[in-house]
Amino acid sequence: MISAKRLLAILSLFVLLVLVRQGVAQEHMMAHATIPFEFWIAGDCLPAGNYQIEQVESTAYVLLLSTDGKTVNGAYTLPVDENPVKDSDARLVFRIQDGKRYLYGGWGPYGKHVLRAESTRPAPSGDNRVEVPVIFR
């Protein structure tokens, strides 16, 4: 039989865990980006628009969902640098080739990642690169 003290301790721990979990859930902020141009992800063309960005399966997959619910697409990624970047430095990086913009990678709370499909290409720079800020809310 469980003593009253032990039962009180278990209940107190349970309440504390529930409160901590609620606090963590409230702090979770979604990543959003307004991409002002049509772009490509692994052979699929996505329209310009507002997107919610989610990391799936730890950090191996990035999912982009248009906020109007019409477009969903994603790609597997490879880490370049797993050190988190400040929210103010979070961004999506696009490679420009033949007038088309291809999602190359992103910088965020899981560090810097490159899409697997883009990982064999050199990092875009200069006129072949465009960045879109990621905002957390």
- Tokens 């307004």 belong to 34
Helices (H) and strands (E) in the chain, counts: 1, 11
Burial class (CB in 10 A: 0-12, 13-18, 19+), 120: exposed
The answer, yes or no, to whether residue 1 has pLDDT greater than 60, is no
Say what the pLDDT of residue 28 is.
Answer: 58
> 16 or 48, which is more confident?
48
Question: What tokens appear for 90 in the block?
Answer: 């979070």
Note the pLDDT of residue 86.
Answer: 93
> Amino acid identity of 32?
H
pLDDT higher than 90, residue 4: no
pLDDT value, residue 55: 80
The pLDDT assigned to 8 comes to 29
Cβ contact 49:77 at 8 Å: no
pLDDT given at position 59? 62
SS3 135: strand
* Digit-coded pLDDT (tens) for 22-76: 444 445 578 999 999 999 998 899 999 999 999 876 668 999 999 999 999 999 9
Taking only the tens place, the pLDDT of each residue in 69-106 is: 999 999 999 999 989 999 999 999 999 999 999 999 99
Where are the chain's structural domains? 31-136
Whole-number Å distance between alpha carbons of 37 and 98: 15
Q: What is the DSSP letter of 117?
A: G
Residue 10 in this model has a pLDDT that exceeds 60: no
According to DSSP, the residues that pair with 78 across neighbouring strands are 114
